[in-house]
Amino acid sequence: MSFASEVNNWIVENQALSISIGVPLFTVMAGFLGSYLTSKAKTREVKLLGRIRLSEYRKENFDSLQEEIASLQTAMSVLIRYRTSKVDFDGNPIDVTENDVQTMMRTYESIAAGIRASEEVRKKFAKSFSDLLKRVLQTDFEAIDDGEIYKAFREACHQILRNEWAQMETELKRLK
């Protein structure tokens, strides 16, 4: 006789004992299975919440970066306007102090430290900012010749924003 038929015969002969042992054993096994599945679901939920929080954090950083870049571009435009005419577009006098230039430099450093772009984009941003600042702060500055230096600076800023947005989109796609 095979082992399976021996077990089957024993169960038939001891049906009451089989039920009294089998039901609690089945209940315990079902409980373990339920606990295991709950644990796996909780683990997935925690991972998903972590990814969601990370994406929210990245979005806040992106918004902050956007504001800093806009602030830097505005400060540079005001400095250029001050150096060329010392009045704004409405004819009101513009006063740019050393403190304003220091604030602009802090904003630049904050952007440079916070971007996650490639080394090439970082270097392009640093060079374009440096070239523009040197040109604007020259003693014989009258105007930006053809605007190419300022265009290069703006393009470097936009490239940073595009790279940051692309990285953020990639992270969001991984959430699915």
Contacts of 164 (CB under 8 A, 6+ apart): 61, 62, 65, 115, 116, 117
Q: What is the pLDDT of residue 175?
A: 66
- The predicted pLDDT at position 3 comes to 87
Given this model, what pLDDT does residue 87 score?
76
pLDDT per residue rounded down to tens, the chain (176 residues): 688 888 888 878 887 777 788 888 888 898 999 999 999 999 989 988 888 888 888 889 899 999 999 999 998 888 887 777 777 778 887 777 888 889 999 999 999 988 887 889 889 999 999 988 888 877 666 666 557 888 999 999 999 999 999 888 887 787 66
Q: What is the pLDDT of residue 8?
A: 83
Which residue's entry shows tokens 């600042």?
133
Side chain identity at residue 119, one-letter code: E
> pTM for the complete prediction?
0.69
pLDDT at 141: 65
Closest CA to 111 of 159, 152, 144: 159
* Amino acid 66: pLDDT: 94
What lies within 8 Å, CB to CB, of 94 at 6+ separation is: 78, 81, 82, 86, 87, 88
Classify 147 in phi/psi space as left (phi over 0), alpha (psi -120 to 50) or beta.
Answer: left
Q: Would you state the pLDDT for residue 15?
A: 79
Domain boundary assignment for the chain: 52-174
Would you state the structure tokens that stand for residue 133, as one six-digit string?
């600042």
119-125 contacts, C-beta under 8 A, 24 or more apart:
121/156, 121/159, 121/160, 121/163, 124/156, 124/159, 125/156, 125/157, 125/159, 125/160
Say if residues 149 and 132 touch (Cβ distance below 8 Å): yes
